[in-house]
Chain A
Amino acid sequence: MSKIDIRTAGSGTVVAGDYGNIRTAGSCRVVGDITCDSMHTAGSCHADASIKCAGEIKTAGSCHISGNVETVLMNTSGSCHVDGDLTADSLRTAGSCHIGGNINSKIEVRTAGSVHVGKSVHAEKLFCDGSLNVGGDCEAEEIRVCNPDVKGMLNGGSIEITLNQNSRECFVDSIGCGSIIVDVDISIKGKGHFFFKKSTSGMLTTNLIEADDAKLAHVRANRVRCKTAVIAPGCEIAILEYSDNVEISEEAKVGELVKI
């Protein structure tokens, strides 16, 4: 028996079931867990449910899902709120995205705007343009983020963190990686931007960085352990342990330097 496609316009309700393609425009309510081949919502969608999708979930406008989401592709623009876990091969968000549980992605997470994750993020690639706030650990092979706030560990193969004028103070509990580069946004480097005074970017504060290679600027750390390090101006590092070589700018503060 072929699955039913659903199309709602204006105000509509989708009840629990197994569907083909779901298209909603206007205000849509989902009541009960659903599985589907694809789901596109435009306008406001409120699901008191978990959703399992074999293809793409695309939301535009405001979307609130109280359960878990499991899908191949997830593409959100506007505000998207999932109370449970989000599992997707690929997640793209533009706007504000709030996941109460974990994000598990086999391929990539690409966000523009603000992202708030209650628990942990596991992905192959994590590219966030905007803010990233994670309640647990954040792990990916390749990480490129701005202004991260991570209560657990930031664990990546290669990590690139850019601090810009919105960064205030960012906090990451600990960082473990192959290579890490922390730098300020190039547009506010140097003598100062037209409207902003020089170095209005905040600091990245962390307890511990353990890396093979570290290139740090505007980092405040209790301890850094690495093979090689380049410590640029704006850094305040209490203890720096290195095994191969280290380059420290005169405008950086390193409390204790230890070769191991």
Chain B
Amino acid sequence: MSEELMTKKELLDMFGISYGALYRWKRKNLIPDAWFIHKSTVTGQETFLPRDRVIERVQTIMRLKDTMSLDEIAESFVPQKSAAATEKDEIILRGIADENQLEAFAAASGKAPPYRWHSLLELAVYAACGDYHAAQCAADFMTENEGEASLYIIQKNGTAISFCAGSFPKSGQGSALECRLVFSEGCEAEQYHLSEMINNLNEKLR
């Protein structure tokens, strides 16, 4: 996913904030560690930030910081940390799943609404792929790891194998997972981008 980047200096100048403020927000997780991207340039190693995402984030922080504490603001960016559960009507209203998908999910999972974030993620993945066990695997995987990941479901002759794979950068350092998939004849494969699904789910929950 190539995204336009900006330097820290550009960000500070744009909003009139200081290094002290930027690094405090990084400590408090208001700006995720993964957004600090190291690249080699002619001047040496420099750190860049994803332009659109960080501008939107800083605008939100500036808007909320006089009425909420930094810890409260940080929690609002991470719906998975909230203990609140979402009712069935709310799930349909926010476009997370429709009535039929909800019924099918309830039957497959044995869980009835209201659903907390972890179950909502299972529901979102289940709505996309139709396989509850794969959805469960994906939700568990993304709860333990934070980064870019996908769910792969490979089917042949009625047998399905699903697995999750992703790349999870340590703070400030990039890491990449190379994964080559080879499908034999008669195989069908589907890929579901879990990090995108999480972003969509969080958007709908906001």
Chain A residues with a Cβ under 8 A of chain B: 120, 122, 136-137, 139-141, 152-153, 155-157, 174, 176-179, 207-208, 210-212, 222-223, 225-227, 260
Contacts and interface: CB of A to CB of B under 8 A. Distances in A.
B18 A157 contact: no
Interface in B43-66: 44-45
Given A136-B171, A153-B172, A155-B26, A207 B20 contact: no
Nearest to B44: A222
In the A-B complex, list the 7 residue pairs whose CB atoms are closest, starting with the nearest: A178-B20, A176-B23, A212-B20, A210-B19, A139-B27, A212-B18, A155-B23
Contacts of B27: 122, 139-141, 155-157
Given A137-B172, A153-B171, A176 B45 contact: no
B53 to A, nearest CB: 19
Nearest to A260: B9
Contacts of A212: 18-20
B23 A210 contact: yes
Contacts of B19: 176-178, 210-212, 225-226
Contacts of A122: 27
B19 to A, nearest CB: 5
Nearest to B33: A137
Contacts of A174: 172
Contacts of B171: 120, 136-137, 152-153
A237 B155 CA distance: 59
Interface in B15-48: 18-20, 22-24, 26-27, 33, 44-45
B155 to A, nearest CB: 39
A222 B44 CA distance: 9
A137 to B, nearest CB: 6
Given A152-B172, A153-B171, A179 B20 contact: yes
Chain B contact residues, majority secondary structure: helix
Given A153-B172, A222-B44, 12 more contacts: A120-B171, A152-B172, A155-B26, A157-B27, A176-B19, A176-B22, A178-B18, A178-B19, A207-B45, A208-B45, A223-B44, A225-B19
Contacts of B45: 207-208
Nearest to B38: A174
B8 interface: yes
A157 B23 CA distance: 8
Contacts of A137: 33, 171-172
B7 to A, nearest CB: 11
Contacts of A223: 44
8 contacts: A120-B171, A137-B172, A139-B27, A140-B27, A152-B171, A178-B24, A222-B44, A225-B9
Interface string B156-170: 000000000000001
Contacts of B44: 207, 222-223
B69 to A, nearest CB: 13
Q: Which of B8, B23, B24, B172 has the most CB of A within 10 A?
A: B23
